[in-house]
Amino acid sequence: MIVVTGGAGFIGSCIIARLNSFGWSEIIVVDHLPNGVESSENLKKKKYVQYLDKADFLKAVESDTVDAKVEIVIHMGACSDTTGTDAKYYEENNFLYTKRLAQWCLKKNVRFIYASSAATYGDGQQGYCDDEATIRKLKPLNLYGESKHKFDLWALDQKVTDRMVGLKFFNVFGPNEYHKGQMRSVVAKSYTTLQKEGHISLFKSYRPEFKDGEQKRDFIYVKDAVDVVVYFMENPQINGIFNLGTGQAQTWNDLAKALFASVGRELKIEYIEMPEQLRSQYQYFTQADMDKLRRSGYTKSFMSLNDAVKDYVGYLKNNSTY
């Protein structure tokens, strides 16, 4: 039995899709859907045995009434809004919730794989290496990044990173993110605008060393990210905190070019002002150091940005789920 928290969300539902493709349906989905599980497009074609609200699952954990057959908890559930201002909510929903699940998994010898984030790297002055020395020096730029970083530090301080896996997801994009509103990827947000108006918008740069649209991110397709999660499911002897990107930073202009090429339209980019509240939190460059993952034995290559965007556009045309 596998528990997937955030199972109705973006990465979580893609993990369930992959498990289903292997013929695996012994899955407990955990999420928070105020309008019921029937309201989730991401779960409509998925096979699983039970859905639990995140509060009910936490109660089961704290009362030790979780199904005894559970062998793996894949914890993708969290508030991923990088602009939120409610520190108490991030503390309770992201840090304390994760801590309680981790403590239960450690006690029960249940495999625990959790989502950290590249947001923990802040402005990148400490680099993007996922070793302990670097992680301890990081200073995130927002409450989301702080909440993820706090749990990484807790796991290191408790000396339990050799009994679990933390994944620092970089810029993940792909199908099943439609519900995320303003937190959707630029590909998802721009696709409709491109089709209707023939152009897309990117933020201007406010640093002289970066031209408009030349800010760089490590973009990784969700299917590649899921492959790495499956790798750690299949290799329980490998543990630690790992970066999860491609190891290759590319510009927002590169992303735009890939999108326009995928829909067969002429490139037209409008550079717009960045909201004031984002400017102090904006990451101008991210690039995952992937040596640690490769040294662990992961050999599969990642999709090129062009191929990944082309595959995603196939879903965006019909607003279809993975």
Catalytic residue numbers read 144, 180
DSSP 3-state assignment of 168?
strand
Nearest Cα residue to 72 out of 164, 165, 2: 2
DSSP assigned state of 285: B
Nearest Cα residue to 273 out of 215, 189, 204: 204
Reduce the secondary structure of 113-138 to three states and give it as a string: EEEEEHHHHCCCCCCCCCCHHHHCCC
Half-sphere exposure of 30 (CA within 13 A, CB side): 21
Entry field: residues in the chain: 322
Is-contact 78 6, C-beta < 8 A? Answer: yes
